[in-house]
Structure 1
Amino acid sequence: MGHAVTLIRSFSLSDVAEYAYAATAPAGSRLIFLAGACPLNKDGSTAAVGDYAGQAAKALENMQTALTDSGASLHDIISTRVLVASSRQQDLGAAWEVVRAFFGDHDVPSTLMGVTVLGYEDQLVEIEAVAAVLDS
C-alpha cells in the first residue's frame, strides 16, 4: 500500500531546518491524531529518568506502538510536536537529535518546544504526532 503523506520542501526558506516545512495528505485519507507519546514503561514508571535522549527514544518507541495499533507506520506521519521540559537549548537539542535520527529520510514538519513541566513524574519529553493513511 502506498503512503498518503507528501512532504514539501520550500527552497525559498532557510535550509538550516532539518525537516520539510509542510506536508499534505490527499482528500479521502484517514487522519490519525496520536496522543502525546510519553517515555513510560509498560508498568507506568517513567523510563530514563534525567536523560533527555533516553526519554525521547522511549517516547518514540511508544509512538511506534500506537501507530502500529492504528494501522499506520512511520512514513504515514504528517507532522510532529516535540515537547521538552527545559529552558536550555542543549536539552532540546539532545531530544531532537534522537527524533531526527528516528525519522531519517521521512523528515516531517516538526515543532520543538521547551515547556515548563509535563504530566508524569520525572517526565522530560513528550512527542505528539498526526498521521494520514489511505485505506484500501
Structure 2
Amino acid sequence: MTTFDRIMTGVGAHIAPIYADAVSVPAGGRTVFVSGTPGLRENGTVPEDFIEEARQCWANVEAALEKAGAKLTDIVYMRQWLTRRDDLSAYMTVNRELIQHDPAAMLCIIEGLVWPEIHLEVEAIAVIPE
C-alpha cells in the first residue's frame, strides 16, 4: 500500500467523507496512470445491471494496476465519470467497498461517454512504493 499524507481542508468533507482534498506522496516509487476505464467485460459487452458494470469497471482498473505491479491501495488519485445521477448511490456503495484509503478524487456526472451504453469510467493514478 502506498503511504501518503492526506491533506484535509474541510471542503471535501461537505461533499463526501471518502476522499482527501489533496494528497502528498513522498519522493520515490513508480507512478502508474490508468486510462479512463469502463465496465466492459472481457468479451466487450457492458453489463445491463449498473452495479455489475461498476464492479466490472473497478475489476478492469485493478487488472491494469496489477499488470504494472500495483494494487488498488496504491491509488493516490482517481477521476470518476458517471452518465446518470440516479446511479450515484449505487456507485458510491461499490466504490466504498473497494477504495477504503481516501485518495484525492473527482467525480463528475456528464452527458455521455464514447459508447451510449457505458455509464461509468474511472481513471486512476497509483504510486508503487520503492
Range class of TM-score, shorter chain:
0.7 to 0.9
Distance in structure 1 (CA, Å) of the matches to 2:4 and 2:105: 14
What's the RMSD between the two structures over aligned residues?
1.9
Q: Which secondary structure state, in structure 1, belongs to the residue aligned with residue 90 of structure 2? A: helix
The answer as to whether partners of 1:77 and 1:108 remain within 8 angstroms in 2 is yes
Equivalent residues in 2 for 1:16-95, closer than 5 Å: 16=14, 17-18=16-17, 19-46=19-46, 48-49=47-48, 51-86=49-84, 88=85, 90-95=86-91
Structure 1 residue 119: Cα displacement: 1.6
Distance in structure 2 (CA, Å) of the matches to 1:14 and 1:78: 16
4, 7, 22: which one pairs with 1:6? 4
Give 5+ residue unaligned stretches, structure 1: none
CA 1:97–1:9: 2 relative to 1, 3 Å: farther
The 4+ residue runs of structure 1 with deviation greater than 3 A are 11-16
Structure 1 residue 75: Cα displacement: 1.3
- What's the % identity of the aligned pairs? 29
Distance in structure 1 (CA, Å) of the matches to 2:35 and 2:119: 16
Distance in structure 2 (CA, Å) of the matches to 1:117 and 1:14: 25
Q: Which secondary structure state, in structure 1, belongs to the residue aligned with residue 26 of structure 2? A: coil
- Name the TM-score, length of structure 1 as normaliser: 0.82
22-31 vs 60-69, greater mean Cα deviation: 22-31
- Name the TM-score, length of structure 2 as normaliser: 0.86
Equivalent residue letter for 2:72: L
Give 5+ residue unaligned stretches, structure 2: none
The answer as to whether partners of 1:5 and 1:78 remain within 8 angstroms in 2 is no
User: 1:68-101: CA deviations, max 9, x gaps?
Assistant: 0011011110011110012x3x322321221122
Aligned length: 128
Structure 1 residue 63: Cα displacement: 0.7
Equivalent residue letter for 1:96: M
CA 1:126–1:14: 2 relative to 1, 3 Å: closer
